[in-house]
Structure formats: structure tokens, C-alpha cells
Homo-oligomer: A and B are copies of this chain.
């Protein structure tokens, strides 16, 4: 006679999940392995990965997790850069990639999107109506709206157009008790509280976003500076004179060399590059505004190249978008910082970070949305040759440079796992206590993306 096995909690949960979600529960090690990563960190293997297809399924899943006291880790495309979607031990990953309904209302200039809709798709579908959705994180072809909302993502266009949260008119989410809420932004702005909370306060199941009319004209230039300080100064000066470019991106000489090694497109090695794009409905104004940037850059010793057509402009932007893959060829791993500082402090901050990198003997590449003072210092390293501990020590020092200059820990990537310990230095204890209270109220069991944001 065989011994009848008492099923463990994990087995009971798996069986319930299979009943609810059928083949949309992933349980094998190989399938689950894919969901341990975001674009920067790796976590342990989750208990299960679930792919819900509707708000009702999300509600059912939350109730199940609540019953068993299991953590839920919401996830979009996994292109995040702070570990926000990385699971912890025993968690259920909620992958929203099957919730991809998108409904355009061109007359009202809005779109209703489920969280699995990819960022770029909104603008693609809106284009025939002469509309677009401005937030444009570098990963926008793969990143999802749910992930963008979780991290309140920005992108190059955010200097002129603002970040994800600025486009949210309504938000639908399932709370930690499995209740569904559909909110506009009146009375208490709970949507605003959910945006940027990295899935720790509720699971977003839908959003109504604002669309804008596409600008009729664009103009792009690349300015090569002998050194980074002059570039930062040019940016400060052009903006002070009233220029409002749509995009203002910067690559330091390490990035420029890496991209040139990678693409061989004739970039000026050893220089710091500024890419600027202006846009609008009047060609003359668009060009005038670009000329303002051009003259300021030349006044500070830059060599300026203007794109003559869309194709040339596209090539310049390809250089910017290739920074991440290009840096991957210098060292196999990197820690990607995401600080934001007041524009007037940019020259000192950029130089201070370079000096720190040299002092630590580690390669630090800097690029980012310099118009907003949003820098992405990347510490590149090889874990076989370089101490990971020193890398994190340096990351911490870089965060401190930002804080010393009145900056913040995250411009657009979120706090996630990576920077939550830094929060102790960035935010006063009383405020952290208020954050913890908000968390405890909206998620008393601590089931929603535990271990993120708050130290």
C-alpha cells in the first residue's frame, strides 16, 4: 500500500492557480527563470508566474495570494533598471503581458490601455489621427505602460513634455484586498499615489492617458565638446535664454568611444556629445530654437553638425539609443544610476562623478537627459576582476553627490531594490515613517511587491 502524501502549501497553491489560470500559470524552472530578471538585477526563482488576461483574473489572483499570505510581484516587460520587477523568494510573479487591450478615442484625444500595452504602440496607433503619446523611455518598443506607471518613467521627450504621470487621466487598480477601483484625479489623488509606487500599493489594471497633437516639424543637431563641463554649461545657458528643446541628450567621451566602436558611424572620439531636437508646428520657430542651441554650443567651443533630413536625424538618435548595448561591450556588468540634480549644478556634478570613478579605479560612463539634469552614470565592471562591493560603494557615493547638490535618487527609473537602502539618506526618518504608514494601510499584509522602495 502506498503512502498518501499531504500536499504542501506550495503544491496547494500551484493546484489552485492551475484551476484558475490553466496553461497561463508557469511552473517549470526553465519558464520561471525568464521572470527572475529585470534589465539590471537577478532575483531568486519565484513560486509561480501567472499571466492574467482580465481585471477579474487579477482580483481572483490577489484573493488567492491573500488567503495564503503569498507575495505578488507585478511585472511588465522586465526592462526596468532598478530591480522593481525582480521577485523575492516564494513570490508569485504577475506578468501583465497578456493584458494588451488598447482603445483610442481620437476625438477626446485619450486612449484607454491595459497595463501590458507596449509604450510605443500607443503612439503608433495614434499616428493616423495626428496624435502621439509623449513619454518615451529608451526601452519604449518593449516596455509596458504598467511598468512605466510603476516607475513613473520618463524619456528624452520629458524635458519638454513631462513624464508618464503627467499623462494619466484615470487609473484602474486592484487593491491588496482584491477590490477594484476606477479613479479619476479628483478629491484625494490616489492615482498619483499609485503612479511611481512600483506595484507596492496596488496592481494597475487599466489607465486612460492623454494624447497630444503631433508636432509638424522637427530639427536635430549634434554638438561635440572637447570636455563635459563646457557641454553642461551650454545646456544651462541655452535654457536660461529660453530654449525649450523637445530632447536634450548627452553622452560623455566614454559613451561616444563605445558607440563608435560598436557602430562605426564616424562620431568624434574623445569628445562629449550633445544631441538636441526642437519641435513645433512652425518650421521657422523650430529652426530658430535649434539655432539658439547651436550658437550657445559654438560659443563654448563645440563643433556643431545639423541633421539635413529625417534620415540624418535618425542616425544621430541611433547613436544615443545604442549607448546601453555599446557599454555592454566594455565590461559584462553594470550598475545604472539615475540621479537628477538642479541644472545649474550639472558641471560640478558631472565632474565630481568622473573624479570619483577615477579614485575608485572603475569605469564610469555618463549619459542622460541633461535638459532635466537627469544623469545616468553607469559603473561598468567585470565581476571576475572587480569587487562588486566596491561597485556598490561607488554607486552609493554617486547618489551622495546628487543629494549634496540638492538632487534626488531617481529621475525616472524608480527606487526598486537597487536604491531602497539609499532612501535612508535621501528622505528624513519622519517622512519614511509616513511612507511606511501609507504602505501598511493599503497593504497591511505586505503582499504587494515586498522589499521594494522602502528600506
Contacts of A435 in B (CB 8 A): 187-188, 190
Residue of B nearest to A427 (CB): B187
Would you call A6 an interface residue if the criterion is a C-beta within 8 Å of the partner chain's C-beta atoms?
no
Residue picked from A180, A184, A410, most chain B C-beta under 10 Å:
A184
Contacts of A441 in B (CB 8 A): 437-438, 441
- Taking residues whose C-beta sits less than 8 angstroms from the other chain, chain A's interface range is 35 or more
Given A189-B195, A281-B242, residue A181 in contact with residue B428 (CB < 8 A): yes
B186 and A409 contacting across the interface, CB-CB below 8 Å: yes
A133-184 residues at the B interface, CB under 8 angstroms: 165-166, 175, 179-184
A185-199 residues at the B interface, CB under 8 angstroms: 186-190, 192-193, 195-197
A189 and B181 contacting across the interface, CB-CB below 8 Å: no
A188 and B453 contacting across the interface, CB-CB below 8 Å: yes
Which of B166, B284, B423 is in CB contact (< 8 Å) with A187? Answer: B423
Which of B175, B201, B284 is in CB contact (< 8 Å) with A188? Answer: B201
A contact face: mostly helix, strand, loop, or mixed: mixed
CB distance from A218 to the nearest CB of B (A): 16
Residue of B nearest to A288 (CB): B282
Contacts of A187 in B (CB 8 A): 196-197, 415, 423, 427, 435, 453-454
B107 and A188 contacting across the interface, CB-CB below 8 Å: no
Would you call A426 an interface residue if the criterion is a C-beta within 8 Å of the partner chain's C-beta atoms?
yes
Would you call A352 an interface residue if the criterion is a C-beta within 8 Å of the partner chain's C-beta atoms?
no
Contacts of A240 in B (CB 8 A): 107
Would you call A343 an interface residue if the criterion is a C-beta within 8 Å of the partner chain's C-beta atoms?
yes
B438 and A188 contacting across the interface, CB-CB below 8 Å: yes
Residue picked from A242, A344, A434, most chain B C-beta under 10 Å:
A434
Would you call A274 an interface residue if the criterion is a C-beta within 8 Å of the partner chain's C-beta atoms?
no
Would you call A431 an interface residue if the criterion is a C-beta within 8 Å of the partner chain's C-beta atoms?
yes
Distance A213 CA – B292 CA, assembled complex (angstroms): 15
A179 and B430 contacting across the interface, CB-CB below 8 Å: yes
Contacts of A181 in B (CB 8 A): 428, 430-431, 434
Supply 14 A–B pairs (Cβ within 8 Å), ascending by A: A108-B344, A165-B189, A181-B434, A183-B427, A186-B409, A187-B427, A187-B453, A188-B438, A189-B189, A189-B193, A190-B431, A282-B284, A282-B285, A285-B285
Which residues of A does B touch, CB under 8 Å? 107-108, 130, 165-166, 175, 179-184, 186-190, 192-193, 195-197, 201, 213, 240, 242, 280-282, 284-285, 288, 342-344, 408-410, 415, 423, 426-428, 430-431, 434-435, 437-439, 441-442, 453-454
| Known contacts A285-B285, A437-B442, then 5 further A-B pairs from the complex at CB < 8 Å, ordered by chain A residue | A181-B430, A183-B431, A186-B415, A187-B423, A284-B284
